[in-house]
C-alpha cells in the first residue's frame, strides 16, 4: 500500500532501532479519508528498507498545507517502532524540542548547501575546484610539478578561522610545495566594515565581529535626478527656435510638490530659450506609478469643475511580445493604479461605484497603457484621454 500511495513528504521503513533507521523521515497525523485520497495526487519520497522489523511510512500534505496524513504499514515490530518514532520525535529526528534541528531546518540547510548559499557549501565548492586544479597541474607535469610557490584565495559567506590553514595543508600535500599562501575572506555584509560604525557590524553566535581590511573603498557622489534633468534641458535649449512649439515629458521619483517646482523651472528655461509660452507643455510625472500620477496630477485638475458623474478607466494587460522577460505580471498596470479609484472619488466628489476599471488586450503594434473616459449625469462625454507609460528594459540577475 505505502509504495503506491501518492503523497508529499518522505517514505521510509524502520526496524528495531527507529532513531537511526528513520533519519530523514517527515510525517503528520491525518484522517483515513485523506489517506484514501492519496494525498491529493502529490509525489512522495522513498528511503531504503532496513533488515529487521520492516515498516513502511508514507506522508503527504495538501497544496494548502492545511491537512496532512501518514500511512504506516509493516510487521508488528517495525510498525510499532515507526509509530513510536513519530509520536516521540516528530518534527525532530532524534532529540525532540525546539532547541534541536527539525526536519524542515535540516532540509533547508541541505538546500542552502547544495545551492552554494551557505558557507559550508561555498567552501566545499572552492575545495573541489582547488583539488581539481591541483590534479590537473600534477598530471600535466607527469607527477612532478616544478612549482616554487602557490597563492590561493577563497571567499565564502562567512569564512571559518581555520579555513585558510586547511586549504594551505591540502595544497601543500597535493602539489608537494612548501610555499603556499592562502587568503580567505567573508562576503557577508558587515564583516569588513569599519570600527567607527558598530551598527553595521555583522555578528552571530559563533561568529563575533572582527575587523578586516575592506576589499575596496570608494566614495560615490550621485547627483540628484532633478539636477540632472535641469542640466539636460539646459544643454538642449540652444536647438530651440524662436516661437517653436515645445513639449517636454519627464519622469522623476519625487513627490507632487518637488515635481511642480521642476515644472516651473523647466518652463522658465524653455520660455527663455524662445519657446512659445502659449503652446509650451511640460509634463513631469512620478516615475514609479506613472498612471496614478497622470490621473491625479493632470486629469483631476481638468475635471474639477465639469460636473463629472462617472469615470471609466481602461488599462492594458501587461504582455511580453519579446519572450525574454522573466519578471512581469499581466495585472501590473492596474496594480500600479492603486488606490486611484478611492482618490478620484474623494477629489471629484463622486460615488466610488461610479468609477470602473476594465482590462483590454494591447495591440501588437503597441498603443496606450491607460485610457480614461469621463461622463456627466446625462451620459455625455466630458473627457477622453490616453496615456502611455514610459519603460526601459533592464537586465536582472537573481
Read off the pLDDT of residues 127-150 as tens digits, 9 standing for 90 and up: 999 999 988 888 887 766 677 788
Please choose, from the candidates 205, 207, 186, 189, the residue with its C-alpha nearest in 3D space to the C-alpha of residue 197.
Answer: 189
pLDDT at position 272 over 70: yes
End of a domain among 260, 288, 316? 288
126 and 182 co-located in one domain: yes
Which domain covers residue 398, as residue numbers? 290-398
In a domain, 244, yes or no: yes
In a domain, 198, yes or no: no
Most confident of 139-148, 297-306, 360-369: 297-306
Please choose, from the candidates 263, 296, 295, 262, the residue with its C-alpha nearest in 3D space to the C-alpha of residue 280.
Answer: 263
Q: How far is CA 283 from CA 107, 294, 342, in A?
A: 53, 9, 24
25 and 80 co-located in one domain: yes
End of a domain among 268, 288, 308? 288
94 and 53 co-located in one domain: yes
Nine-digit cell string for 19: 532513531
364 and 295 co-located in one domain: yes
Rounded average pLDDT over 283-312: 95
Q: What percent of the chain has pLDDT over 70?
A: 80
pLDDT at position 36 over 60: no
7 and 82 co-located in one domain: yes
Rounded average pLDDT over 355-376: 93
Handedness of CA 343, 348, 353, 354 (dihedral sign): negative
Q: What percent of the chain has pLDDT over 90?
A: 46
In a domain, 205, yes or no: no
Give pLDDT tens digits for 211-234: 666 666 778 889 999 999 999 999
123 and 107 co-located in one domain: no
In a domain, 207, yes or no: no
pLDDT of residue 144: 63
- The enclosing domain of 368 has a CATH number of 3.30.360
pLDDT of residue 379: 94
284 and 294 co-located in one domain: no
End of a domain among 262, 288, 314? 288
Give pLDDT tens digits for 73-107: 888 888 888 888 778 888 887 788 888 888 888 88
pLDDT of residue 279: 93
In a domain, 216, yes or no: no
369 and 269 co-located in one domain: no
In a domain, 56, yes or no: yes
pLDDT of residue 63: 63
43 and 93 co-located in one domain: yes
pLDDT of residue 194: 66
pLDDT of residue 395: 77
Give pLDDT tens digits for 371-388: 999 999 999 999 999 999
Can you give the C-alpha Rg of the chain in angstroms? 33
307 and 378 co-located in one domain: yes
Q: How far is CA 380 from CA 300, 349, 375, 376, 384, in A?
A: 18, 18, 5, 5, 11
Please choose, from the candidates 225, 214, 235, the residue with its C-alpha nearest in 3D space to the C-alpha of residue 255.
Answer: 225
377 and 324 co-located in one domain: yes
In a domain, 275, yes or no: yes
pLDDT of residue 143: 63
| Number of domains observed in the structure of the chain | 4
6 and 95 co-located in one domain: yes
For residue 87, give the 3-state DSSP assignment: helix
pLDDT at position 28 over 90: no
In a domain, 203, yes or no: no
Please choose, from the candidates 281, 279, 312, 282, the residue with its C-alpha nearest in 3D space to the C-alpha of residue 385.
Answer: 312
Residues 6+ apart with CB under 8 A from 28: 59, 61, 68, 69, 70, 90
> 46 near 11, Cβ under 8 Å?
yes
* Cα 73 to Cα 80: distance, rounded to the nearest angstrom: 10
Give pLDDT tens digits for 235-249: 999 999 999 999 999
- Could you tell me which residue, 208 or 113, shows the higher pLDDT? 113
Amino acid at each position: 500500500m505505502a509504495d503506491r500511495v501518492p503523497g508529499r513528504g518522505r517514505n521510509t521503513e524502520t526496524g528495531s532501532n527507529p532513531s537511526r533507521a528513520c533519519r530523514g523521515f517527515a510525517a503528520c497525523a491525518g484522517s483515513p479519508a485523506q489517506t484514501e485520497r492519496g494525498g491529493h495526487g502529490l509525489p512522495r519520497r522513498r528511503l531504503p528498507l532496513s533488515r529487521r522489523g520492516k515498516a513502511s511510512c508514507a506522508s503527504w500534505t495538501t497544496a494548502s498545507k492545511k491537512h496532512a496524513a501518514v500511512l504506516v504499514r509493516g510487521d508488528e515490530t517495525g510498525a510499532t517502532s515507526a509509530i513510536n518514532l513519530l509520536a516521540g520525535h516528530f518534527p525532530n529526528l532524534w532529540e525532540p524540542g525546539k532547541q534541536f534541528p527539525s526536519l524542515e531546518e535540516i532540509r533547508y540547510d541541505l538546500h542552502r548547501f547544495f545551492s552554494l548559499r551557505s558557507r559550508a557549501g561555498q567552501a566545499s565548492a572552492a575545495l573541489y575546484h582547488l583539488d581539481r586544479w591541483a590534479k590537473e597541474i600534477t598530471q600535466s607535469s607527469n607527477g612532478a610539478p616544478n612549482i616554487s610557490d602557490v597563492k590561493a584565495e577563497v571567499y565564502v559567506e562567512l569564512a571559518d578561522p581555520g579555513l585558510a590553514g586547511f586549504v594551505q595543508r591540502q595544497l601543500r600535500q597535493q602539489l608537494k610545495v612548501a610555499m603556499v599562501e592562502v587568503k580567505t575572506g567573508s562576503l557577508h555584509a558587515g564583516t569588513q566594515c569599519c570600527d567607527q560604525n558598530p551598527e553595521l557590524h555583522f555578528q552571530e553566535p559563533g561568529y563575533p565581529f572582527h575587523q578586516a581590511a575592506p576589499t575596496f573603498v570608494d566614495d560615490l557622489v550621485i547627483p540628484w535626478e532633478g539636477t540632472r534633468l535641469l542640466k539636460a534641458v539646459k544643454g538642449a535649449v540652444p536647438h530651440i527656435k524662436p516661437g517653436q512649439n515645445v513639449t517636454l515629458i519627464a519622469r522623476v521619483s519625487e513627490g507632487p510638490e518637488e515635481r511642480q517646482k521642476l515644472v516651473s523651472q523647466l518652463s522658465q528655461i524653455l520660455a527663455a530659450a524662445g519657446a512659445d509660452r502659449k503652446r509650451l507643455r511640460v509634463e513631469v510625472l512620478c516615475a514609479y506609478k506613472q498612471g496614478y500620477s497622470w490621473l491625479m496630477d493632470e486629469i483631476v485638475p481638468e475635471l474639477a469643475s465639469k460636473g463629472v458623474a462617472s469615470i471609466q478607466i481602461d488599462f492594458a494587460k501587461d504582455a511580453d511580445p519579446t519572450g525574454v522577460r522573466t519578471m512581469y505580471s499581466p495585472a501590473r498596470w492596474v496594480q500600479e493604479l492603486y488606490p486611484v479609484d478611492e482618490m478620484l472619488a474623494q477629489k471629484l466628489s463622486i460615488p466610488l461605484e461610479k468609477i470602473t476599471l476594465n482590462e483590454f488586450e494591447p495591440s501588437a503594434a503597441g498603443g496606450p497603457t491607460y485610457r480614461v473616459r469621463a461622463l456627466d449625469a446625462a451620459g455625455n462625454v466630458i473627457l477622453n484621454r490616453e496615456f502611455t507609460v514610459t519603460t526601459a528594459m533592464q537586465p536582472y540577475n537573481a
